[in-house]
Amino acid sequence: MSNIKFLYFQKHILSLVILLSVQQFVAGQSYFANGDARAIAGSTCYQLTAATNWQNGSVWYADKLDLSKDFDLEFDLNFGNKDAGGADGIVFVMQTVGNKALGLDGGGIGFEGFSPSIGIEFDVWQNASTVDIANDHIAIVKNGSLNHTGVNSITAPVPALPSGGNIEDGLNHLVRITWIASLNLLEVWFDCDRRLSTTVDIQNAIFGGQNEVFWGFTSATGGSNNKQVACLRDDILVQDTFTLCKGDGILLNARESFDNTYSWTPVNFLDDPTSRTPECTSVIPQTYFVSYNDRCNNTFRDTVHVSIDEPFTMDEGEDTLLCDGRSYAFDLRSEYDSVLWSNGLRAARISWQAAGLYRLRAWKGVCYDDDSFTIRTDVIPTLDITGDTLFCEGEQTEISLNIAPFSASIVWQDANTDTARFFDETSAITVTAVNECGTVQANYNVREIFLPPLSLGQDSTLCEEDTIVLAAPIQSNLVYKWSTGAVTNSVLVTDPGEYSVVISEADLCFDRDTVDFIGIPFPSIGLVEDVLLCRNEEIVLTVDNEFGEVLWDNAVSGERFLLKNREGILSVKSVNQCGADSTNLFVNLIDCYCRLWLPNAITVNNDNLNETLRPTLDCPKLQSYNLQVYNRWGEQLWESSNINEQWDATYKGKAVQSGVYFWIVNWKGILNGQLEQFNDNGVLHVIR
């Protein structure tokens, strides 16, 4: 057996003990204290209650009693030093409720309240309700009831001392309880006197056939109190059979003696046959006898049997790799009596999945051996390739690998081992990931997109009512989007303007071209009238032709033509790339005057003669005209810029009175070929 393994298991078992200390638990004493119970430092004693009213405490031994086997228990009880006012006592209890059990205080002595149970009460208070006797007394009861006349009474109470005296004397009192399972015999000694002896089938009649029970002590106070203590001793349960692994040693044990004098026979394989706990190193089965005077100074002879188990070597576990959640299974039930794993589990049949170092100890009888192994865990690799599968001409794409777990190694088709790479041309990619659990392979393709050359041609012109077809190159996977909204590879142009197309593939690579068409209308001279031309007058004729040429008399080119002192037919022709238009006009050359007369009187008498003020004009090229009429107070009565309008001698719709009025006239016209400004004024007599 390796010392390293042995130390490891010692440390582990100690850690289990510490974990159990949720309740007050002392590793050396192996008891659980509840309620008001407290361990007394430096001793194996427990104060069950303080000398305080309404206290309630219990102490339970960590190991259960086996009712199918005999037992012989010795312990000391101290009931305090208050006699007349002391209360309430201590109960030795066997129960199946658990190691946290705590009954009722006061007269219940901490025993009342849980069932099934059997109790040996050491009662120091007389309760009439439970038919107690006057003496400090002992009785055997069950199921949490202290009533001595009820169905739960097993024995009638008897004085604790044969003399019937007081046990609340501040002294420790030796109590011995024995059980002979084959006879169902339960006996109680108090200060070396046997006080009770009864036959009762505890296992079947009280615990329904259950043989293992919790055991310990309860105590309580009520309106009166005492400090009540139980001293339990580490060797309260003394083995009568020891099993020794051949080659090891074991300490035998006897009860505490009156004078600490012991005699073991035979003396073979014992290091000190006069010791209370001699070490036995026997290699063969052996029966020993020990003689001593017990604490009551009675000669006592006990028998101790030593059996021998053969040592063995265990090699159950191997360092193992577990893939994809698999388990490492063990079934040690047929090989070993018990198994303890390093995490505290005692399963002989178990499966492990988590990675780590595992240690176990297995027993055959009392012989044991240790083993250890390491589990490593992993999974078959997973490989995910990410990145753009398409990229445009002249660019590149980054391809990345997502690999799990970390134990996996990767290699590309060209032996590269990077986890991310750039590709600038069409490629077929293969990546392999490997670890101890397996191999996976993934394929990926990347493609460089090449767009065809795109040209819609040079900017051009478009004649009215002409059409032009614009076409983009054709290639599979191309998407077209024209400025007209069309999505075909070609469009029909019927109107001037700017036309553009975007070609793309995969909504990733784009090219664009634009062409502008300037609309050219057919040449049109429009409506041309003959020209009246004053001598020496200059008139400029204009024909617009933005996209072509205008010819006058088939000789002079230009959009403007100056007429002066010319007479006769004038030809005009307008030409552009879309066609031609032509016409002739006649120029009449005359001598021009510009004279205007107004009458000095009008007769408004409805004879249709000289009824209105109207001008007489001799001005073929009148450009502008304005006539105003005023009364003699300077108030304007009428105004007109229309040579054809006449004043009817009214003002605001009413006839003016007969009298004198004034007019002012301004006009412009051609005189001797020049534009002149004329002004005149006069008097007008209105006669009615």
How is residue 227 annotated by DSSP?
-
Give me the mean pLDDT over the 68-93 stretch. Answer: 94
**pLDDT given for residue 450 in this prediction:** 96
* Per-residue model confidence (pLDDT) at position 18: 27
What are 431's two structure tokens? 């990546």
| pLDDT above 70 as % of the chain | 95
Q: 233 pLDDT band (50/70/90 cuts)?
A: confident
277 near 212, Cβ under 8 Å?
Answer: no
β 38-39/212-220 pair status: unpaired
pLDDT digits 0-9 by tens, 354-409 = 999 999 999 999 999 999 999 999 999 999 999 999 999 999 999 999 999 999 99
**How far is it, in rounded angstroms, from Cα 518 to Cα 176?**
127
For the ranges 194-208, 287-301, 369-383, which has the lowest average pLDDT? 287-301
What was the pLDDT predicted at 27?
35
Distance from C-alpha of 31 to C-alpha of 174, rounded to nearest angstrom: 19
Q: What mean pLDDT is predicted for residues 554-571? A: 92
* DSSP per residue, 554-622: TTEESSEEEEES--EEEEEEEEETTEEEEEEEEEEEE----EEE--SEEE-SSSSSS-SB--EEE-TTE
For position 412, what pLDDT does the model report?
97
Q: What percent of the chain has pLDDT over 90?
A: 84
* Tens digit of each residue's pLDDT (9 = 90 or more) over 440-474: 999 999 999 999 999 999 999 999 889 999 999 99
pLDDT for 8 equals 35
Contact between 341 and 356 (Cβ < 8 Å) = no
pLDDT of res. 326? 96
Predicted pLDDT at 235:
66
Residue the block writes with tokens 């361990």: 39
The DSSP H or E segment spanning 498 is strand 497-505
- Distance, CA of 154 to chain centre: 65
What's the whole-number mean pLDDT along residues 663-671?
94
Residue 10 has pLDDT above 80, yes or no: no
Instruction: Decide: 90 and 124 in contact? Cβ < 8 Å.
Output: no
Q: Which long-range contacts (CB under 8 A, 24 or more apart) does 677-685 make?
A: 678/594, 678/596, 680/596, 680/598, 682/598, 682/600, 683/600, 684/598, 684/599, 684/600, 684/601, 684/602, 684/613, 684/629, 684/660, 685/600, 685/601, 685/602, 685/658, 685/659, 685/660, 685/661
> What band does 255 get if pLDDT is binned at 50, 70 and 90?
confident
pLDDT in tens, 585-644: 999 999 888 999 999 999 999 888 999 999 999 999 999 999 999 999 999 999 999 999
pLDDT band at 236 (very low <50, low <70, confident <90, very high): confident
Burial 382-392 (b: 16+ CB within 10 A, else e): ebebebeebbb
Question: Has residue 129 got a pLDDT over 70?
Answer: yes
pLDDT above 50 for 6: no
Question: In the predicted model, what is the mean pLDDT of residues 282-296?
Answer: 93
Q: For the chain, how many helices (H) and strands (E)?
A: 1, 57
Calculate the average pLDDT of the chain: 91
pLDDT in tens, 475-526: 999 999 999 999 999 999 999 999 999 999 999 999 999 999 999 999 999 8
Q: Do 516 and 470 meet the contact criterion of CB atoms below 8 Å apart?
A: no
Q: Can you give the pLDDT at residue 63?
A: 87
Q: What is the pLDDT of residues 317-362, one digit of tens each?
A: 999 999 999 999 999 999 999 999 999 999 999 999 999 999 999 9
pLDDT at 298 over 80: yes
What does the pLDDT look like over 86-119, one tens digit per residue?
999 999 999 999 999 999 998 999 999 889 999 9
The model's confidence at residue 15, banded by pLDDT at 50, 70 and 90, is: very low
CA dihedral 551, 553, 556, 560 (to 10 degrees): -70
Q: What is the mean pLDDT of residues 664-676?
A: 92
Ordered domains of the chain (ranges, CATH): 3-231 (2.60.120.200), 241-309 (2.60.40.10), 320-378 (2.60.40.10), 382-449 (2.60.40.10), 460-520 (2.60.40.10), 531-590 (2.60.40.10), 595-687 (2.60.40.1220)
